[in-house]
Amino acid sequence: MSAPEGAPGPLSLNTATVRDQWNLAQAIEGCARHGIPGISPWRDKVAALGLAQAARHIRDAGLFVSGLCRGGAFPAADATGRRAAIDDNLRAIEEAHALGARCLVVLGGGLPPGSKDLPGARAMFHDGLAEVLPVARAAGVTLALEPLHPMTCADRSVLTTLAQALDLCDALGDGLGIALDVYHVWWDPMLAQQVARAGRRIAAFHVCDWLVPTTDLVFDRGMPGDGVIDIPAIRAMAEAAGYAGCCELELLSRRWWQEDPDQVLLRAKAAHAAAC
Ligand code: ZN
């Protein structure tokens, strides 16, 4: 069993961390310049550069792709919307495959506009996932379910706990995994049990910190070490469960988006070494 004081896995930069400062080419070059070995791009950044060019540029820089953000969001108001979400996920699977991503991060999506039917939205998530899963399996792309903090249930994620995500993994079988994001799961009284239950299904480990007070429920995340999450303890749980992958910094923060991106990466490296 790994100790919390052991070294974290290699650092990967989720491009949301420098979303407002850098396009994908700049983020790739920034990682290479700062010796950050991994990257996790968002699909809008990949589209802006072009999929083939993004894949080539990442490969030429010698970076691994810890994940592609993101798919999921299957709940929709009508059949047309549900079909569009499924088609979008099929494209995301292709993109993840082309990039050699270790997983496609899959979010729940919120309630359809005007709806109060939470069980219905969760059923749509299940059904959409079940529909795209065979394609993901054939492509060798792991769909990493990322439960988000329940505060985002209405508009971002009807998938809110590790237990719920693992129930889906159990029900639907091979090809699914978990994206364990400390920001979203740190509060969960069942965290230790559910991380152990996840075992080798943990496909991604996302870090940032929960600031007190937090000023925005989505865009005020902290650099690891600046908040209240015991990240090394959660990492130790993941490693004890069999996770041996990287540590992906995903820092959605209006504050950090105003900083010089090279300074952000320097701080990220220090935080990764000291607080992850
Ligand atoms: Zn995340």
SS3 state at 154: coil
Task: Give the residue-averaged pLDDT of 152-156.
Answer: 96
Q: In the chain, what percentage of residues exceed pLDDT 70? A: 98
Which among 69, 130, 62, 60 is positioned nearest to 103, based on CA atoms? Answer: 69
Cβ-in-10-Å burial (0-12, 13-18, 19+) of 37 comes to middle
Domains and CATH numbers, the chain: 11-275 (3.20.20.150)
CA distances to 69, 138, 197, 206, 229 from 142, rounded to whole Å, are 12, 10, 18, 16, 27
What is the token pair recorded at 227? 């908040």
SS3 state at 145: strand
Task: Give the residue-averaged pLDDT of 17-43.
Answer: 98
Backbone phi and psi for residue 256, each to the nearest 5 degrees, phi listed first: -70, -25
pLDDT at 269 over 90: yes
Q: How far is the CA of 159 from the centre of ligand 1 (A)?
A: 13
Q: How far is the CA of 39 from the centre of ligand 1 (A)?
A: 13
SS3 state at 105: strand
CA distance linking residue 219 with residue 83, whole number of Å: 30
Q: How far is the CA of 165 from the centre of ligand 1 (A)?
A: 14
Q: How far is the CA of 276 from the centre of ligand 1 (A)?
A: 15
pLDDT digits (tens, 9 = 90+) for 198-244: 999 999 999 999 999 999 989 999 999 999 999 999 999 999 999 99
Q: Tell me the whole-structure pTM to 2 decimals.
A: 0.96
What is the token pair recorded at 75? 């709940």
Q: How far is the CA of 33 from the centre of ligand 1 (A)?
A: 24
Residues with Cβ within 5 Å of ion ligand 1? Answer: 181, 206, 250
The confidence score (pLDDT) of residue 6 equals 78
Q: How far is the CA of 151 from the centre of ligand 1 (A)?
A: 15
